[in-house]
């Protein structure tokens, strides 16, 4: 789930298989938001969210996703999405503290949203936007930051999508090679 390379891109991956008739929603309940933030390494302990907080998180996620796709596709950005990110980014970000030699991140839902919006804005307005890509996996809809040397990565991750594509291509070549080989007899 956390293959985007940046927190804002990982948030967009909390809906899997967007191209399917019924995508897989990973933020199905308010508790899922706090657990997602903890698993993403954004906070030490889960953040509490209400039903309206869950809705706000999903709105932020969809605005980030739309803006990233617009930039990747060289299309103009939707003003409503930009406004939503700008408003969220104004608030204070998540806090940091060193406790017993360990860095701890903490805060509330508004601070989480600010942190995610700031991360997205830094990507959208910086040089790294040219390295944000949409996974080439047939059924994948994840966005990721391609930090490979030549920026030639095609999949969100080898384990997630690359291996599936390479295995399918290998099986297809084997079937074709078998038919060609037998046809020459």
Higher-pLDDT residue of 143, 88: 88
Instruction: Mark out the alpha helices in the chain (DSSP H runs).
Output: 7-12, 30-39, 51-72, 79-90, 109-125, 163-183
Structural domains of the chain in order of their starting residue, each with its CATH number = 7-183 (1.10.3300.10)
Higher-pLDDT residue of 171, 20: 20
User: In the Cβ-directed half-sphere of 85, how many Cα atoms lie within 13 Å?
Assistant: 25
* Residue 6 CB neighbour total at 10 angstroms: 19
5-53 confidence digits (pLDDT tens): 899 999 999 988 888 888 889 999 999 999 999 999 999 999 999 999 9
128-167 confidence digits (pLDDT tens): 998 888 877 777 878 888 887 887 777 677 666 755 555 5
Separation of alpha carbons 138 and 143, rounded Å: 13
13 contact partners, CB below 8 Å, separation of at least 6: 1, 2, 3, 4, 142, 143, 156
- CA angle 61/66/68 to nearest 5° reads 95
The pLDDT assigned to 8 comes to 95
pLDDT at 181 over 70: no
- CA angle 31/40/3 to nearest 5° reads 125
Higher-pLDDT residue of 104, 162: 104
Q: Are 24 and 85 in contact (CB under 8 A)?
A: no
The pLDDT assigned to 5 comes to 86
126 contact partners, CB below 8 Å, separation of at least 6: none
| Structure-token pair, residue 168 | 């399918």
DSSP 91: S
55-87 confidence digits (pLDDT tens): 999 999 999 999 999 988 889 888 999 999 999
């Amino acid at each position: 789930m956390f293959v985007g390379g940046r927190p804002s891109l990982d948030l967009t991956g909390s809906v899997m298989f967007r191209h399917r008739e019924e995508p897989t929603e990973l933020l199905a309940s308010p508790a899922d938001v706090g657990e997602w933030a903890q698993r993403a390494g954004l906070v030490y302990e889960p953040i509490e969210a209400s039903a309206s907080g869950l809705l706000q998180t999903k709105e932020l996620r969809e605005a980030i996703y739309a803006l990233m796709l617009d930039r990747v596709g060289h299309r103009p950005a939707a003003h409503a999405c930009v406004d939503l990110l700008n408003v969220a980014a104004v608030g204070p970000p998540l806090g940091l503290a060193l406790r017993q030699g360990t860095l701890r991140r903490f805060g509330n839902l508004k601070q989480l949203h600010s942190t995610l919006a700031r991360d997205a804005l830094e990507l959208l307005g910086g040089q790294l936007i040219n390295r944000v890509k949409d996974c080439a996996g047939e059924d994948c809809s994840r966005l990721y930051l391609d930090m490979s040397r030549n920026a030639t990565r095609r999949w969100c991750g080898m384990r997630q999508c690359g291996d599936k594509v390479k295995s399918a291509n290998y099986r297809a070549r084997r079937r074709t090679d078998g038919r060609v080989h037998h046809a020459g007899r």
